[in-house]
Chain A
């Protein structure tokens, strides 16, 4: 008797659990799973300028392989990704070390440090647009008063990607720093004491002990940033819309413009599915790396 009662409660519990997650699951199916399947189908369609659609097989994907703009976008995406990630990781670790040695951080200081990545990227874009204005901006004034040549920043095809990387790094380096700081604070103090007894220099201690122990945290920060960096959109769209020319036309910007400016939904779908595959590929690769550096 008690057995059936137990099964009854268990079944009831399972049912209740299913009911609790049902709204979220149904929402996810309706707003995410189904649309993604639909995108896959759209990727096999071709749309004429009048909005007529017809089955195109793999035409969108063969177009993609021969599309110069796609390869350019891929190159821009990767360049921006590598440059920004390198900047944010290097300065993030540096900033984390500085914060770590400052011992206690008043809440107000912490609030200031999180302010860049809590503000909308669009606002960051607006404010840097003004600061980096080639003729009247404050950045060039500072450069010139230091005796350095001014730059065209976002208006220069050569410098636009490094400039965007700089803006994004301004926003997200403190975020990386706070993650790494969390990692630093969780390191066992005993390893430092051992190093101190052995007479290791601060630099040696960092290189041989701190850095290897921090690597899993750093890789985690790298994963979190990579996801955003590979689908870079906001700052570029608000400042240059992919320009000057096509110098900052990342894959995400390109796909968006193909879809919503030229209304070639089919080809845009193929582009976005490819970008999604790249993002997930990168996350999986980093995840393996995290497994390799774990301790």
Chain B
């Protein structure tokens, strides 16, 4: 065995050690949340904290019994699916037009909107929606969340549309295809995976968004994220139910993100990094 090979092995071992350490730091809090959600109520607040316990579903049971968790979940689903659909409906043709014409200001405008603090829009929306009696309506929530989903759809799809060779479109044009037909029949099938990634990212970020529903929803239309605030308020000792709620709220975005993890980061940088 040469010295160099020995050093090499040491370095690799050290690297694996760091990787495991980083993995533990990243995973531990989430694992703790999930574990706590399955602990019997007297054990959740036990000090010193316990690692071994007999798992129970009582926290989940209590959560669904004492709070309208399922109707909050339904509200979240309506708002998220609605805003994702709206984002796709408006975003796909817009991204295609921006990619084709190279006129980029519509895309840049939506990106600028994504950078501004949400409260900047929430103040005028509140005044406007209140005047027309739309506070607490699904429409107001879906429209506000579409402000999150639209730039995601446009910016995830832009590089996909850009990657299609121009000659493909030109050939179709010569054959007399209208632009709309080219988009529908040729371009969209070619960027199908991009559309899937953008839809999932839009869904995740709409689901996770807190601020708008905090003000624009009412007791009947409150989303899970906005209701999370109530779960905390309900009692500092109800940790089990709180962690059960947290686990359930985090589940849909985590499952969806795992499906597209390979394409996720380049999509998340909204065009700033090509990966």
Contacts and interface: CB of A to CB of B under 8 A. Distances in A.
Given A25-B94, A115-B254, A127-B30, A39 B261 contact: no
Given A127-B30, A220-B269, A255 B119 contact: yes
B94 A116 contact: no
A242 to B, nearest CB: 13
A16 B178 contact: yes
A238 B211 CA distance: 11
A28 B150 contact: yes
Interface in A76-133: 95, 98-99, 101-102, 107, 109-116, 118-124, 126-131, 133
A145 B47 CA distance: 12
B78 interface: no
A129 B232 contact: yes
Contacts of B128: 35, 38
Contacts of A275: 117, 119-120
Interface string A185-223: 000000000000000000000000000000001001001
B45 A136 contact: yes
Given A39-B120, A131-B32, A238-B210, 6 more contacts: A23-B89, A123-B33, A123-B249, A179-B275, A231-B119, A275-B120
Interface of B: 11-12, 15-16, 18-19, 22-23, 25-27, 29-30, 32-33, 36, 45, 47-49, 86, 89-91, 93-94, 96-98, 100-101, 106, 109-110, 112-128, 143-144, 146-147, 150, 154, 173, 178-180, 183, 204, 207-208, 210-211, 214-215, 225, 228-229, 231-232, 236, 239, 242-243, 245-246, 249-250, 253-254, 257-258, 261-262, 264-266, 268-270, 272-273, 275
Interface of A: 9, 13-14, 16-21, 23-25, 27-28, 31-36, 38-39, 42, 95, 98-99, 101-102, 107, 109-116, 118-124, 126-131, 133, 135-136, 138, 141, 145, 170, 174-175, 178-179, 182-183, 217, 220, 223-224, 227, 230-231, 233-234, 237-238, 252, 255-256, 259-260, 265, 268-269, 272-273, 275-276, 279-280, 283
29 contacts: A16-B178, A20-B180, A21-B97, A21-B106, A25-B109, A27-B146, A35-B125, A36-B120, A38-B128, A98-B19, A101-B15, A107-B261, A119-B254, A122-B208, A122-B210, A122-B225, A122-B229, A123-B250, A124-B29, A126-B228, A126-B231, A126-B232, A128-B29, A141-B48, A182-B265, A259-B126, A260-B122, A279-B116, A280-B116
